[in-house]
Amino acid sequence: MPFPRRLLIPDEQLVLDLRPHPVALVMPTLVTIVGFVAASWLTAKTDVADWVWWVLFLILLVLYPVPKLIAWLTSNFAVTSDRVIHRQGFIAKRSMEIPLEAINDVRFEQGILDRMVGAGTLVISSASEFGRNTFDDIRHPEAVQKVIYEQGESNKKRMYQGSAAGQGPPPPPPAAPSATTELERLVRLRADGVLSEEEFQVQKAKILGQG
């Protein structure tokens, strides 16, 4: 099931849309096979009614393999230009979002089998309400880690540029006072006794370009 693009906010781009790696179905498949073989063997070797073992087998399927299969079919791990999103569920849905600017650290873990099949666990630490988050059965976790870092850096640059643009152009420098204004100021200073007549004439000549 692809990530629904209707959930993207305006100008948000979907960068990665990943389903869990098929390795997630290995254990449910083994449990199903073992349960089927056991039910068949017990049906042939015991005197208990045959339906009892098959009912127990169906209960086993409902408790473990079927929920795991539904989780695999309905899970999405998405990386956008703004968020990391994990969605899961068909009837009862669960969703978690981590803004890229809130992510502090991204790590991945791989066992021997995981490295062979190209799967692993992604660990994201963030300053959001979710804190430390672990995502299992991620396809190519090292490449996903790199994409998250790259999108995080791009997101920071966009936020910085948007913040700088929001400040607007710097204010123009104040206009120089006119000659008339300066002469009026000199007259007031002379009247107040701050300037002598001689000083007044010198400053007046400078303003009029005569000094």
User: pLDDT value at position 159?
Assistant: 78
Tens of pLDDT, residues 143-182: 999 999 999 898 888 877 766 666 656 566 555 566 777 7
Determine, yes or no, domain membership for 141.
no
Determine, yes or no, domain membership for 14.
no
User: pLDDT value at position 140?
Assistant: 92
Question: What's the total number of domains in the chain?
Answer: 1
Determine, yes or no, domain membership for 32.
no
Determine, yes or no, domain membership for 201.
yes
pTM over 0.85: no
Written as one string, the DSSP assignment of 127-145 is SSTT-EEEEEEEESHHHHH
Determine, yes or no, domain membership for 80.
no
**What is the dihedral angle through the alpha carbons of 30, 68, 137, 14, rounded to the nearest 10 degrees?**
150
Determine, yes or no, domain membership for 130.
no
Determine, yes or no, domain membership for 211.
yes
Determine, yes or no, domain membership for 203.
yes
User: Phi, psi (5° rounding) for residue 149?
Assistant: -65, -45
Distance of CA 87 to the CA centre of its chain: 14
**Ranges of the chain whose pLDDT falls below 50:** 211
How many CB atoms are located within 10 Å of the residue 85 CB? Answer: 20
Domain that holds residue 204: 180-211
User: pLDDT value at position 211?
Assistant: 44
